Amino acid sequence: MATRPWWLRAGASATVVVLALVTACGGDDSSGADGEAPTADAARGAPADGPTADGGWSFTDDRGETVTLDEPPDTIVAQTVVAGGLWEYDVEVAGVFGPLRRPDGSADPGVGLAEPDDFTSVGETEGQPDLEAVAALRPDIIVTSLWGPDSYWGIDDELVDEIEQIAPIVAVRVEQRPMTEPLARYAELAEALGADAGSGPMVEARDAFDTASRRLEDALAAKPGLTVLAASGSPSELYVAWPGGFADLLYFQELGMDLVSPEEHPGGGGYWETLSWEQADTYPADVILADVRGASIDRLLDLAPSTVESLPAVEADQMLAWPASYAMGYGHVASILDDLATAVEQASDDVV
């Protein structure tokens, strides 16, 4: 998954600009036939694989690859957002690759409802797991997200062969599909790894997700003029997100959010339109959602070019945090939806 430096975030309002810096997710329409937001249970799909009759274990992932083991996995290594999601369901992960903390020491959004100290790191440099540390754990499986047919989040292409020599990869596709789908697949994987789907953390998390989805849908319906622009930036450039590529943004659209989209699809598998900061007002918006993986909103505003200060949403104090990297668990996503619903409820929809 490609990354760039990120910039903004903030408060609450109508048109939402999302400043972010990640590769995208998006995808198929999974809303119900009656137009209501899809519930977690409706998105779950086919039953998960898991322990087999002969005492072994298998799981067919989103590459169509079936990982088969002689016994259920005991030692799991996973990318940060996967580990954060599995943690919600009491599935233990022995080692985590990918960022656990922001540069300022606060928790990376990818850990979700957990704390960084809940995990053992096997490499926090994006795309560069420590192969020796991974191998030392002797994992049974290595779990990460799939971007495109053969791109693994958190594993640079040149390291894939070496990783696969340590343990088989289990991959869940997150690109170009609404977040309900990868969330459901990771819940299925958790079940296959022993989580109890019928009680406890999984039920509570799914209920929270469904409730938060309805709340955001209602808040958006009450603010029909609300527009949203998703974007990110570097010191020299602004990146405007194509909503159809991002799993969360696509789901927000299904719930009724009016997201601004670049006039032309980035093409070539890209998810961003690149603008100069002088062109930051190309897509006016009432609210700005800003990628906060790298820092807090206050810090990002300190780093942002002065041109950002004149954007209507910034002047109106209507910027919102966008955890563009988030734990693949219903509970964490429910908290994100609740925060966004609160912001929409408080937003002014006449900023632009």
- Read off the pLDDT of residues 95-122 as tens digits, 9 standing for 90 and up: 999 999 988 888 999 999 999 999 999 9
For the cut 80, the answer to whether the pLDDT of residue 14 exceeds it is: no
CATH architecture of structural domain 43-196: 3-Layer(aba) Sandwich (3.40)
**Using CA atoms, how far apart are residues 288 and 229, in angstroms rounded to an integer?**
7
Q: What residues does CATH 3.40.50.1980 cover in the chain?
A: 16-33+207-346, 43-196
Give mean pLDDT, residues 214-228: 95
**Using CA atoms, how far apart are residues 47 and 52, in angstroms rounded to an integer?**
14
CATH topology of domain 16-33+207-346: Rossmann fold (3.40.50)
Residue scoring higher pLDDT (186 or 297): 186
Lowest-confidence pick of 4-18, 67-81, 146-160: 4-18
Inter-residue contact 72 to 61 (CB < 8 Å): no
Question: Residue 109 forms beta bridges with which residues?
Answer: none
**Using CA atoms, how far apart are residues 163 and 168, in angstroms rounded to an integer?**
8
- Read off the pLDDT of residues 162-206 as tens digits, 9 standing for 90 and up: 999 999 999 999 988 999 999 999 999 999 999 998 878 899 999
Residues 6+ apart with CB under 8 A from 48: 59, 187, 188, 189, 191, 192
